[in-house]
Amino acid sequence: MRLDRAASIDDLRRMARRRIPRFAFDLVDGGAESERNLRRNLEAFEEIQLTPRYMVDVSTIDTRAALFGQSFDMPFGMAPIGMLNAFWPDADLTLARLCKRRNIPYVASSAASTTLETLAEAADGNGWFQLYVSSDTAVTESLIARAEAADYRVMMVTADVPAAGKRDRDIRNQLAVPFRITPEVVAGLIAHPRWSLATLRHGKPNIANYADLLQSATSYAEVQKTLITPGFTWDSLRRLRDRWQGTLLVKGILHPEDAVQCADIGCDGIVVSNHGGRQVAFGPSTIEALPRIAAALEGRIAIILDSGIRRGADVLRAKAHGADFALSGRALAFGVGAGGAAGARRALEILELELVRALGQLGVASYAKVGPSELSSLA
């Protein structure tokens, strides 16, 4: 299929699946255990009805959203994704540049395959930094200092990693970092020569921010020790709040009391997220968790939502339930996988087209005005 014939993010996902070896596609596409949470994210969005209103002038649609003193052209940004160069070479830089060009936020992952400095430069003022707190405080402090020096103003600490997500597809695929060459990997490389050549040309995907640290690592479990923090507590968050001068967000909030605690500690916002269904299979979808969180927070701090955004209307569903802004992980990643930079542009084009059309149909000319009255149960 040609990129311009891709009508939906799901079309781009199918295109990416054909171009990318199974182990690398599954690394991005997969979720925890039975993947019930991953599917629940998608299904829960689809179930939410918004009621169109007509005879309203929608000849000019305004998709802008203001957040943390900045105005973005669309009400969503790119979520942090680690090791994305394993999916498609140069995916990080491609997306950081695109986000800058289209004036939306780009969140650079601690575990990105490109350094946080290079991504800050590419995102040029639109970059946010996502922090994985390491069990080794020196590693965490070094990342924070580097983020400060690179001029990131927004830091998002990921809270939902007290344990590694058990991703059955990765276990079956024998995924290992650093990559191990298994017969399945060789078969995948031969079957996808374009991916293999491009990956060879760009060098082995790695976790760039920890390059020195990881050079000595011999197993995935060892690598994960840097990314998994069973000892991260509310006290750690308080210390982080004291340490970081800029905007501080906590990502991975699903319980209203945790959200209130983040506000009490002085965080500037939360990301209602279940890591795209990658941590547990038993958890709630984020769109179902959101209303209670929004009610408990009473507008004290910003609410961003991710996990399961595949349509422009999903961003509006989140807004109607109390979110201020959204992030998308896989939707834009599938775009890159389907066609590099052009594919990423196509993914954004699709989401934008859907967003603009949905606002028109709802009879709400600007994103800022979408609220609970669009929900069918209240209309």
Ligand X SMILES: Cc1cc2nc3c(=O)[nH]c(=O)nc-3n(C[C@H](O)[C@H](O)[C@H](O)COP(=O)(O)O)c2cc1C
Give least dist CB 134 to ligand X, A. Answer: 13
Q: Of the two residues 104 and 364, which places its CB atom closer to ligand X in the complex?
A: 104
- Minimum gap (Å) between residue 55 Cβ and ligand X: 35
For the bound state, the minimum distance from the C-beta of residue 247 to ligand X, rounded and expressed in Å, comes to 16
Give the separation between CA 95 and CA 123, rounded to whole angstroms. Answer: 9
What does the binding site for ligand X look like in residue numbers (CB under 6 A)? 27-28, 41, 79-82, 109, 111, 130, 158, 251, 273, 275-276, 278, 306-309, 328-331
Look at residue 212 and give its three-state secondary structure.
helix
CB of 378 to ligand X, least distance (A): 26
Which of the residues 192, 202, 275, 321 is marked catalytic?
A: 275
Identify which of residues 37 and 63 has a Cβ nearer to ligand X in the complex. Answer: 37
Q: What is the spatial distance between Cα 64 and Cα 355, in angstroms, rounded to a whole number? A: 11
Q: CB nearer to ligand X: give 269 or 308.
A: 308
Least separation in angstroms between CB 84 and ligand X: 7
Contact 290, 272 (CB under 8 A): yes
Helices (H), the chain: 9-19, 22-29, 36-47, 91-101, 116-123, 137-149, 168-172, 183-191, 193-202, 211-215, 220-227, 234-243, 256-265, 286-297, 312-320, 330-362
Closest CA to 367 of 66, 129, 49, 137: 66
Within 10 angstroms of residue 308's Cβ, the number of other Cβ atoms is 31
Nearest to ligand X of 79, 96 (CB atom): 79
Q: 3-state secondary structure string, 19-72?
A: HCCHHHHHHHHCCCCCCHHHHHHHHHHHHCCECCCCCCCCCCCECCEEECCEEE
Closer residue to ligand X in complex, CB, 80/340: 80
Measured from each CB, the residue nearest to ligand X is 329
Active site residue 275: yes
Any idea which residues carry the catalytic annotation? 275
